[in-house]
Amino acid sequence: MRTRPLKVALLGCGVVGSEVARIMTTHADDLAARIGAPVELAGVAVRRPSKVREGIEPALITTDATALVERGDIDVVVEVIGGIEPARTLITTAFENGASVVSANKALLAEDGAALHAAAEKYGRDLYYEAAVAGAIPLVRPLRESLAGDKVNRVLGIVNGTTNFILDKMDTSGAGYSEALDEATALGYAEADPTADVEGFDAAAKAAILAGIAFHTRVKIGDVHREGITEVTAADIASARRMGCTVKLLAICERAADGASVTARVHPAMIPLSHPLASVREAYNAVFVEAEAAGQLMFYGPGAGGSPTASAVLGDLVAVCRNKLGEATGPGESAYTRLPVSPMGEVVTRYHISLDVADKPGVLAQVATVFAEQGVSIDTVRQQGKDGEASLVVVTHRAPDAALSGTVEALRKLDTVRGVASIMRVEGE
């Protein structure tokens, strides 16, 4: 074993960063044995130096992150500060000064991953980011390495624990969205400002990363169709239950049937209770990967939190340190297919549409005519009526999303349709 330690700079010491530092200290001997050399925490960049950080030597704390990554004797920089800047500049500076990087920064990777990979390649450094997607679940490395010889056609999963907790509580307790969000906040699953989670931004960033790796093409967060869960109601959950379904916020990345394009989307969807994703409860994550040779693979586990995310960071740290000792680098960006990302309108989906209609003869015929004119085939219809008012629930066969959207707009113009109560896609069949 080499006796000279590999030096690690930690950028950020919040929930994840402090856990990374703790594990590096308490498991130092095991990490050294696995790597082939000891690892030493050489500096920790923070914004509030006065805060007490148990287990970290005060002399290691600095507010000058730039000076830390510019030192020249740092072997690996662990970036867990999040956001676009200063993270992007610090990572690039680390590459320039001889360090490889382990990051958990999904937003930055989804926005500017190509440039970061290019900088890593230019300077001969590693860029690893298992912790950026699905917490402790090994997912990035299996896609980048284990399935490198296979053809991945679809990635489907629950990649945000906060929204899964909220939807699960709405389903199991009958709570409304606001009540379930309040419970998630009280338990620490939701941030004080939950926008990134409940509006789907977090899941969309992860979908962009997964699609890029799975399909060997460049996908940015702006390419991902995004819908959150704020409009999901207790009535939607009840409708799903009547269909033998539940509602989940899904990230779906698909290769087109002809192989000429890909799609990436995040939105709530009804899935059958028989589907394995339907049983993913609380704040857990699960991802299905469908590959030609391997078939269906499912990855399941805690998708967030200090310890789970730190586990993924430390796994990358071990790999990067091993590469350093061997004077090698791991896999970089693979974007050779250069496939275009199709817009949501071209995606073929199914819809569950709930309409408030007048309870009188001929309404169903009018609604059916609209679907036929838009080229959308109806799978099932359920109608209930009383005292001149009725509800009509239509589930379609698969059709282009643009045709389904056009159908909804045409339905709104019917005199007999009082309102569109809810619209939700149906997946997993």
Is 265 in contact with 347 (CB distance < 8 Å)?
A: yes
Nearest to 420 by CA among 395, 400, 399, 392: 392
Averaged pLDDT, groups of 10, the chain, 429 residues long: 91 95 96 97 94 89 98 97 97 98 97 97 98 93 96 97 96 95 92 95 98 98 97 92 95 96 98 95 95 96 88 97 96 96 95 91 93 95 76 93 94 92 88
Separation CA 103–CA 83 (nearest Å): 11
**18 CB neighbour count, 10 Å cutoff:** 21
Separation CA 311–CA 285 (nearest Å): 15
Nearest to 302 by CA among 292, 291, 311, 313: 311
- Cis check: omega of the bond before 86, within 30 degrees of 0: yes
pLDDT at 387: 65
Separation CA 206–CA 171 (nearest Å): 25
Could you give the C-alpha distances from 348 to 52, 54, 272, 342, 364, in angstroms and in order? 53, 52, 18, 11, 25
Nearest to 381 by CA among 414, 358, 347, 355: 355
Residues annotated catalytic, as ranges: 206
What is residue 339's DSSP assignment? Answer: P
Structure tokens, 282: 């609380």
Strand-pair category, 399-400 with 61-62: unpaired
pLDDT at 388: 65
End-to-end CA distance of the chain: 53
Is 427 in contact with 278 (CB distance < 8 Å)?
A: no
Q: Across-strand partners of 285?
A: 301
What is residue 340's DSSP assignment? Answer: P
Structure tokens, 164: 């899964």
Is 292 in contact with 147 (CB distance < 8 Å)?
A: no
Instruction: Return the biggest CA–CA distance within the chain.
Output: 85
What is residue 415's DSSP assignment? Answer: T
Is 25 in contact with 60 (CB distance < 8 Å)?
A: no
Could you give the C-alpha distances from 124 to 2, 120, 172, in angstroms and in order? 22, 6, 51
